[in-house]
Amino acid sequence: MPSITIHDVADYAGVSRATVSRVLNNNPAVDQALRLRVEDAIQALGYQPNRTARRLRAQSSNVIGLIISDIRNPYFLSIIQGVEDVAYAHQMSLILCNSDEDPTKEQMYLRVMEAEHVAGLIMVPSQSSEEQQLSRLKKIGIPVILLDRVADDFEVDAVKVDNERGAADAVRHLIALGYRRIATITGPVHLTTGRERYTGYRSALEANGLAYDEALVKIGNFKTESGYQLTRELLAMAEPPDAIFVSNNMMTLGALRALREQEIRVPQEMALVGFDDMPWSGDLYSPLTVVSQPTYELGQEATNLLLRRLADPGLPFRTVILQTRLIVRESCGAKLRS
């Protein structure tokens, strides 16, 4: 119960606490014989330095904060794992928070991170207008890395994916397959992900001489239910689309569900391309053609960026943009038409 402190080790080895500390921190100015004696004592007592005390003294911790916007979304799983793996390799722990897309909760967690004196923070912001909070954190000296949803011009480190190009790839693919009436279900415009994927959709249409039709654009909230509803709306149109590009994984599931419910064959009667791959995307009712994000790498990259900044706070800010990859399965109809 009363855990062993540096004091106990010092007593056991018959030296001062300072010496034990020096041994722990590999300070060369300690005699070999003493060092061994101290190390024996540490072994014998099973001593483990108290991280809290260390942190207090050092005014810095080896804890990374990670704020996710929706932990129920499997998209974040490999991201978390990417972060965790890199953090683990650098002996850092992870505090995980789930803002649940709720700005209040997010704000509260930001304060927790501050009080917790985490070394740095990786976050998927729930809303774009959090700049004041971020600048507040920056003022305290906690480095922040933004993930996934990132305005390019804001002066922080950030990691994201080339959303516009990814979306354009998907839509271009549909066009190449011969679809002409391509709808999109996209995300909220106040999130860069929603905006950029929409832009990609639109630019691909225009680059290929297809008319842009406002009626074919539905704005969802990245949740399954919204994908389901909006797909039904599209199906109810007088002149429904022949293909849908859905800009995230959960809404794609919703779309698929709506289509199946109405017994619309995918891709024969409606082609579908989604955003975000999942390990089971190929096992779905209709194996999904998707724009795949390198999620694990996103997590890794974010953590690397953070470690880099911790090592050298003076570096210029950087936004790392990773590329997506179009994975062609069956929901787009490529196999049918080729």
Partner DNA sequence: ATAAGTCTGGAAAACGATTTCTCTGAGAGT
Partner DNA sequence: ACTCTCAGAGAAATCGTTTTCCAGACTTAT
Say whether residue 56 binds DNA (CB under 7 A).
yes
15 interface partner picked from DNA, a second copy, none, CB below 5 to 8 A per type: DNA
279 interface partner picked from a second copy, DNA, none, CB below 5 to 8 A per type: a second copy
- Cβ nearer to DNA, comparing 53 with 237: 53
CA 97 → CA 53, 122, 168, 228, 243, distances in Å? Answer: 24, 10, 33, 28, 37
- Span 182-221, contacts to DNA by CB under 7 A: none
Q: Least separation, in Å, of the C-beta of 107 and a second copy?
A: 13
Which of 16, 27, 43, 48 touches a second copy (CB under 8 A)?
48
209 interface partner picked from DNA, a second copy, none, CB below 5 to 8 A per type: none
Token readout for 53 is 């005390």
The CA R_g of the chain, rounded to the nearest whole Å, is 26
- In single-letter form, the type of residue at position 219 comes to I
- Candidates 214, 256, 245, 218; CA nearest to 234 is 218
Say whether residue 7 binds DNA (CB under 7 A).
yes
Could you tell me how far CA 93 lies from the centroid of its own chain? 17
Could you tell me how far CA 261 lies from the centroid of its own chain? 32
Secondary structure of residue 175 in the 3-state scheme: helix
- In single-letter form, the type of residue at position 311 comes to A
Q: Least separation, in Å, of the C-beta of 298 and a second copy?
A: 15
Hey, how many other C-beta atoms are within 10 angstroms of the C-beta on 7? 11
CA–CA gap between residue 170 and residue 200 (Å, rounded): 9
Main-chain phi, psi angles of 42, to 5 degrees = -60, -45
Q: Least separation, in Å, of the C-beta of 12 and DNA?
A: 12
**8 A C-beta contact, residue 305 and residue 147:** no
Which of 18, 89, 207, 215 touches DNA (CB under 7 A)?
18
Token readout for 234 is 């599209």
103 interface partner picked from DNA, a second copy, none, CB below 5 to 8 A per type: none
Which of 26, 28, 46, 311 touches DNA (CB under 7 A)?
28
Token readout for 2 is 């009363």
CA–CA gap between residue 152 and residue 196 (Å, rounded): 11
Say whether residue 78 binds a second copy (CB under 8 A).
yes
Among the listed ranges 21-29, 148-156, 209-217, 228-236, the one in contact with DNA (CB under 7 A) is 21-29
Q: Least separation, in Å, of the C-beta of 145 and DNA?
A: 24
Q: What is the largest CA-CA distance in the chain?
A: 88
Task: Give every CB contact of residue 283 below 8 A, 6+ residues apart in sequence.
Answer: none
Contact string 57-76 vs DNA (x = CB under 7 A): xxx-----------------
Token readout for 79 is 């991201």
Among the listed ranges 47-55, 132-140, 150-158, 304-312, the one in contact with DNA (CB under 7 A) is 47-55
Which of 123, 158, 185, 253 touches a second copy (CB under 8 A)?
253
Which of 14, 43, 44, 88 touches a second copy (CB under 8 A)?
88
CA–CA gap between residue 150 and residue 294 (Å, rounded): 16
- Cβ nearer to DNA, comparing 30 with 255: 30
Say whether residue 112 binds a second copy (CB under 8 A).
yes
**8 A C-beta contact, residue 239 and residue 211:** no
Among the listed ranges 10-18, 178-186, 196-204, 272-280, the one in contact with DNA (CB under 7 A) is 10-18
Say how many Å lie between the first and final Cα of the chain, rounded: 70
34 interface partner picked from a second copy, DNA, none, CB below 5 to 8 A per type: DNA
- Binding footprint of a second copy on the chain (CB under 8 A): 1, 3, 48-53, 55-56, 61, 63, 66, 71-72, 74, 77-78, 80-81, 84, 88, 93-98, 105, 111-112, 114-117, 139-141, 224, 253, 256-257, 260, 279-280, 282-285, 287
